[in-house]
Amino acid sequence: MRLAAAHPEWVVGFADEVWWSRLAQPNLHSWTAGEGLRLEELQAAKSDPEPKALACYGLLRADTKDLWLRFVTGRPVSWMTIEFLKWVIEKLQMEDKKALLLV
């Protein structure tokens, strides 16, 4: 990070991704007397137009403290992550930035 601070055309960014499913149940712990609890697999109706999951990608820039968010339908898989990173790079190129150091 010290090295990046010496190069104003570089950006240090902290990235993360998270996703939520409308149909997946959270990992819960519970005490029971007798038979243990059973999780049930939920299914969306075929006619349900809502997405099963929603993902959020985020990048916190160390230089400006700006937070860039992007929401997508579905789980964060490789091709979605690549699209997010392309979007970030395009935005940085508009600022004449030359490198993104991603944490």
pTM for the full model?
0.72
Rounded to the nearest integer, the mean pLDDT of the chain is 86
**Structure confidence at residue 95 (pLDDT):** 97
Give every CB contact of residue 22 below 8 A, 6+ residues apart in sequence. 44, 50, 51, 52, 53
pLDDT tens for residues 21-38? 767 655 666 666 667 666
Q: What's the rounded Cα separation, in Å, for the pair 64 and 45?
A: 44
pLDDT digits (tens, 9 = 90+) for 68-89: 999 988 888 899 999 999 999 9
